[in-house]
Amino acid sequence: MLTEALQRMADGRGGVIGVVPGLVIEPGVAAESWTPVAELTREPYTLLDGLIAETAGRWNAPHHVGAALFWKTFAYWHTLPMALGWALDGRVPVMPPAETYVKPSDAGVTIAATRVRWGSGAQAIREALAESQAPLVKAIGALAKVGERTLWGSTAEAFAHPLTAVVPGDYMRLLKEVGPPVDGLVEPADDGYFRRTCCLWITLPDVEPCGSCCVLRPRRRPAA
């Protein structure tokens, strides 16, 4: 079910998708042009900084904004299969960091793994975030001085968006079940959701805010 959903998504986007629809690539293919994700967390973070610089250059952004936008893209495509798997049949694909690869693409980045293991429910997602995303969040924070809450906000949105735009799912329930560090970073709205942290896109000149941008959230009136 998940592969079919990802392939439909790819077809609808003209093939521009940031995760291989089947999730898995052969080890020989990965060695040719892909960067091992595990290498991104090795100090002094040379490979990670290269990907951040590529993103910053694409948008003519400062380094820290490029870092936040790189993470927004990476987190979305890394999280998407887990969110869709949870919504479709409860089976969650986990790409072990030592066997996960990334490369720049028209989608920002494309992610794949040489092996995927399958879990179930929010517990599998919680473990995957701790195993795969938390080390990268810490590395980006150290390298570019971007707050971890800002970065985890992009992961939280990466659950909300596909469960409103691709496959219907109760993203608020999922975020609650997963818990910290993603719970509480998005809130529902009449026509979608709002973030409670900024992805920093709005800091670029001459851009429109994302539809989920925290700057668009209606101000709450103080209690009488």
Report the C-alpha dihedral over residues 44, 48, 52, 53, rounded to 10 degrees: 60
38-42 contact pairs (CB < 8 A, 24+) = 38/97, 38/98, 38/100, 40/102, 40/136, 40/139, 41/135, 41/136, 41/138, 41/139
- Ordered by start, the domain boundaries in the chain are 18-213
Residues 187/153, Cβ–Cβ less than 8 Å: no
Per-residue pLDDT of the chain (224 residues; tens, 9 = 90+): 899 999 999 999 999 999 999 999 999 887 778 999 999 999 999 999 999 999 999 999 999 999 999 999 999 999 999 999 999 999 999 999 999 999 999 999 999 999 999 999 999 999 999 999 999 999 999 999 999 999 999 999 999 999 999 999 999 999 999 999 999 999 998 888 999 999 999 999 989 888 888 877 766 544 44
Q: How many residues does the chain have?
A: 224
Q: How big is the CA angle at 221 (ends 219 and 224), to the nearest 5 degrees? A: 170
* Type of residue at 203: T
Q: For residue 121, give both structure tokens.
A: 């429910």
Nearest CA to 153 out of 128, 184, 126, 132 is that of: 184
Predicted TM-score (pTM) of the model is 0.93
